[in-house]
Amino acid sequence: MKIQQRKNFIEEKFIDIHKKSSTVWVQAPGRVDLMGSHTDYNLGYVLTQAIDRNTWIAARPRNDGRVRIASLDVDGIAEFDLESIIYNEKIPWSNYVRGVADVYQKEGYELNGFDGLVHSTIPFGSGLSSSAALEVATAVLLESLADLEIAPVKRAILCQRAENEFVGMNCGILDQYSSAMGEEGSVLLLDCRSITSEIKPIAPGVQVMICDTRAERALTGSEYPERRAQCEEGARILRKFYPEIKSLRDATLEKVQTHRDDLDPVVYKRCHFIVEENQRVLDIADALASGEHHKAGRLAVESFRGARDLYEIVSDEMIAMHAAIMSAPGAYGARGAGAGFGGCLVAFVESDSIEAFAEHVQKEYVSSTGIEPEIYPVQAAKGAGVLPFN
C-alpha cells in the first residue's frame, strides 16, 4: 500500500472510531537480526537492521488524561486512565501501550491522554518485533504529545523496561534498540553491553530476504526465560573459575570446553552456542562489508545448526524452510530470525536471483509442509519518529 493510500485508509477508520480527525502520526519499524540469536541478554553483539515494515499510530490529544486506542489489525478498543494503569488480560496488545505510558510516568514524565489508532505491516508473532514496534511508536507518540525531548537510545531502554516490568517478558535490548535507532540503508553492529552501535556497510550483490514459515508458534512462554536462566547459570559457574566473566559475552569457547564437566549438559550446550554465535556476529559483519557473501552464508548456516542442535529453538517448519532455501538458486545461507520456535528465517541471497529464489522456496516449502509461506526482500529502514502529516 502506498503511503498516501495507507494514511487515507487509517484516517477514515480513525474518524469512524473516534468521531474526530487525527492530528499526530508516528511510525516505528520492525527489525531483523542478521546474526546474533539470544546474544543480547548475554550482553554480546547483534548485527541488526530496522526493516521497511512498520507500525503507525494516528492520534489526537485528549484533555481528560485518558487513552482510548484501537487497532486495525487486532480486535478491541482499549481505554484507560493515565492515573491508574493496570495490566489488561482482555486486550493483550494494549499492554504494550499501557506499559510504555506506565514506565514513562514512573520516570517522572508528565503525559497527555489521546485517542489513537494502530496499523501495522509487521506480521505478528513471526520474529520481526511487532511488539517492540508498538512500544517504540507509543513512546514517540507520548513524547510528541507532551513535548518531551528524549534521546532515541533512552527511548529504547524505557521501552525494554516496559516489556520487562509491565508485560513480563524478560527480553534483551535488541528489538527496541533496532526499532528506535534504525538507519536507512545500513545495518547496525549493536553492542548490548554498552548499548551503542556502529554502522556497518554491506557490499553490493546480496539481498536480505525474509522467509516466513507462517507456522503457528507452539510456545508455552517458558522457553525464552528458561534459555536466559540457563545462560545466567553458565556464566555464574564459569565466573567461579574466571572472575572476569560477568556474562557469557566474556567467555570463550576454550573456557566453556575446559569446564564442560562443571556445567549441566544442557547449560553447556547453551553456553557453547552463545559464545560461538557472538563471534559469528563480528565475523559476518566483516564478511558482508568486504563482499565475502559465501562466507557470510556459511556463517548463517552455522548459526542455524547451532540454534537447532545446541540452543534448541528451531521448529520442524524452520527446518523445512531452511532446506527449501538452501536448495534455491542464489542462496548464500540462512538462519532463524528473532527468538526462534517458528516464525521467519532470514536468508542472504544473490541480488540478481531474488525472483527465482522466492519462486523455488515457495514451491519447495509448500510441497514439504502444506503451508503457504511468505517470501519477500526487506530494506534497512530508518528508526521510529513522527510522520510528517497534518
CB of 245 to ligand GLA, least distance (A): 20
In the numeric block, which cell numbers belong to residue 351?
A: 541480488
Question: Among residues 61 and 125, whose Cβ is nearest to ligand GLA?
Answer: 125
CB of 270 to ligand GLA, least distance (A): 13
Question: Among residues 171 and 384, whose Cβ is nearest to ligand GLA?
Answer: 171
Q: Is 119 helix (H, G, I), strand (E, B) or coil?
A: strand
- Give the closest residue to 103 by CA, choosing from 161, 143, 150, 142: 161
Question: Among residues 46 and 67, whose Cβ is nearest to ligand GLA?
Answer: 46
Are the CB atoms for 382 and 52 separated by under 8 Å? no
CB of 48 to ligand GLA, least distance (A): 9
In the numeric block, which cell numbers belong to residue 303?
A: 548459526
Contact residues for ligand GLA (CB under 6 A)? 33, 37-38, 40-41, 171-172, 174-175, 338-339
Are the CB atoms for 31 and 174 separated by under 8 Å? yes
CB of 313 to ligand GLA, least distance (A): 9
Opening angle at CA 321, ends 316 and 325, nearest 5: 150
Q: Which residues carry out catalysis?
A: 175
In this chain, which residue has its C-beta nearest to ligand GLA? 171
What phi, psi does 70 have (nearest 5°)?
-120, 170
d(Cα 132, Cα 148) in Å, to the nearest integer?
20
Opening angle at CA 10, ends 7 and 16, nearest 5: 140
Question: Among residues 174 and 288, whose Cβ is nearest to ligand GLA?
Answer: 174
